[in-house]
Amino acid sequence: MFEFKLPDLGEGIAEGEILKWHVTEGGTVLEDAPLVDVETDKAAVTIPSPRGGRIASLRGKVGDTVNVGAVVVVIDDGAAAEAKAPAKTASAPTSAPAAALAPAQVPVAPGGPQRPVPAAPATRRLARELKVDINVVPASGPAGRVTPEDVHRFASGAPAPVVQAPVPAAHAPTPPDHIAARAVRDDTAFAEFAAHASATIPFLEIEPMPDFSHEGPVVVEPLRSIRRKVARKMVTSMALVPHVAHMDDADVTDLEAFRLRERERRQGGAGSRMTLMAFVIKAVTAGLRATPAFNASLDPFREEIVYKKYYNIGFAADTGRGLVVPVIHGTDTKSIVQLADAIADKAMRAREGTLPADEMRGGTFTITNVGPLGGTALLATINYPEVAILGMGRVQEKPVVRDGQIVIRKILPLTLAFDHRVADGADAARFVAELARQLSDPNLLLLET
């Protein structure tokens, strides 16, 4: 028997949600054949089977969240039976809650029954309270001892401790670990957290959610995976970054005519899926080179602004499971055709959930286009720690005045939300105006290739 545990998926990812099983109980699997699709905060991955054999049991259903290190599948690979489990666990009743992920089936070290991991009883209780399997918590104590901090860190989904860069004392004290928001699971913890948060921010008043079911029927589902990641990103961005938005219109009549013509001509070949986004990315890249402030990050602890000399532009994609942001690296070195193909390819893989994590990393600027769905303008939230995000509204034919005449033109509404700590309104006005100018004349974009 071989117990396959959810492997380390990198980047401090502590858990994954089962998207799809490629195997069934009782079926057979070949070594390296796809076993299970797991979605993490960052990406969906297909995990291949490390062994060939018969599937003795699957330890989770589609939709279940599995901790890294927990057994996900047991494969009968013909090897000798595993070390006899301690008698106490022999009859774990089927009614035990979350039996599939019960701590009883934790990593069995070679050579004999496993004792509970070294940890103080109080720490073990803490883990139970936070619904964490202490046996898979990465330990930071001596001799593999799991500390309360380890449990809190694991429960909050934060990465295991790495060497901390020396950070000058922040002005606001960080909340003690035990009242981190992620650990708020009961009334006492909530009160403690709310008190701390309220003490930090004047006028802030956090109260427990009312019981909505008193008002009418509700459906409750846990916040997990992409949804949770988005929640964290957005709260962090809104809390840390003073957002300012600047709006302008781009006349894309000529560009759209050119694009549709080219697209038609390229049927079946490169650039055949050419979208407005490809042109916008090209124009934005040109703008970022001219205005480095929008391709920067502000480090509030070191009090430094980091200007990036590389251009990785992300675009928001609605995948059906939530928002992800594929990143196109080195947009300054790619032609519009190459950009168009990259967009189509990454968007498709993002929707399938097969886009690897490193293709969603390292962005320096983000563009979000809700135009196809409608909208005259939008105010996007900056993809922290980037400095700006460009929102594209719907391209619409509108009456505009040109040379004293009312004419009908195709208008693209643009909104740049930016970090006012790093750039000012004038920078934004110039940036968006130049963007609009470039998009109004395809010939100008030629100069940027």
Residues acting as catalytic residues? 420
Considering the complex, state which of residue 109 and residue 306 has its C-beta at the smaller distance from other proteins.
109
Residues 99-118 that bind other proteins (CB under 8 A): 103-104, 111-113, 115-118
Cα(284)–Cα(325) distance, rounded to whole angstroms? 17
Considering the complex, state which of residue 104 and residue 433 has its C-beta at the smaller distance from other proteins.
104
Tell which one of 81, 91, 167, 168 touches other proteins (CB under 8 A). Answer: 91
Peptide bond into 86 cis (omega under 30): no
Binding flags for other proteins, 126-155, as an x/- string (CB under 8 A): --xx-----------xxxxxx---------
Minimum distance from residue 86 beta carbon to other proteins (Å): 9
Cα(375)–Cα(23) distance, rounded to whole angstroms? 44
Measured in degrees and rounded to the nearest 5, phi and psi for residue 29 equal -135, 145
Terminal-to-terminal C-alpha distance of the chain = 58
Which of the ranges 30-38, 92-100, 224-232, 432-440 carries the binding residues for other proteins, by CB under 8 A? 92-100
By CB under 8 A, residue 447 contacts other proteins: no
Cα(242)–Cα(87) distance, rounded to whole angstroms? 59
Tell which one of 62, 98, 120, 235 touches other proteins (CB under 8 A). Answer: 120
Residues 55-84 that bind other proteins (CB under 8 A): 83
Tell which one of 22, 51, 54, 124 touches other proteins (CB under 8 A). Answer: 124
Q: Output helix, strand, coil percentages for the chain, rounded to the nearest 5.
A: 35, 20, 45
Cα(123)–Cα(154) distance, rounded to whole angstroms? 13
Strands 365-369 and 388-392: parallel
Confirm if 152 and 175 have CB atoms less than 8 A apart.
Answer: no
Considering the complex, state which of residue 119 and residue 278 has its C-beta at the smaller distance from other proteins.
119
285 Cβ neighbours under 8 A, 6+ residues apart? 311, 313, 331, 332, 448
By CB under 8 A, residue 85 contacts other proteins: no
Considering the complex, state which of residue 116 and residue 159 has its C-beta at the smaller distance from other proteins.
116
Which of the ranges 58-66, 123-131, 229-237, 428-436 carries the binding residues for other proteins, by CB under 8 A? 123-131
Which of the ranges 41-49, 50-58, 124-132, 266-274 carries the binding residues for other proteins, by CB under 8 A? 124-132
367 Cβ neighbours under 8 A, 6+ residues apart? 277, 280, 281, 284, 313, 314, 315, 316, 389, 390, 391, 392
By rule CB under 8 A, what count of residues binds other proteins? Answer: 31
Minimum distance from residue 97 beta carbon to other proteins (Å): 9
Q: Is 379 exposed, middle or buried (0-12, 13-18, 19+ CB in 10 A)?
A: exposed
Minimum distance from residue 220 beta carbon to other proteins (Å): 19
CA dihedral 250, 256, 262, 266 (to 10 degrees): 100
Tell which one of 79, 96, 223, 379 touches other proteins (CB under 8 A). Answer: 96
Token readout for 430 is: 């110039």
Cα(277)–Cα(270) distance, rounded to whole angstroms? 16
Residues binding other proteins (CB under 8 A): 83, 87-93, 95-96, 103-104, 111-113, 115-121, 124, 128-129, 141-146
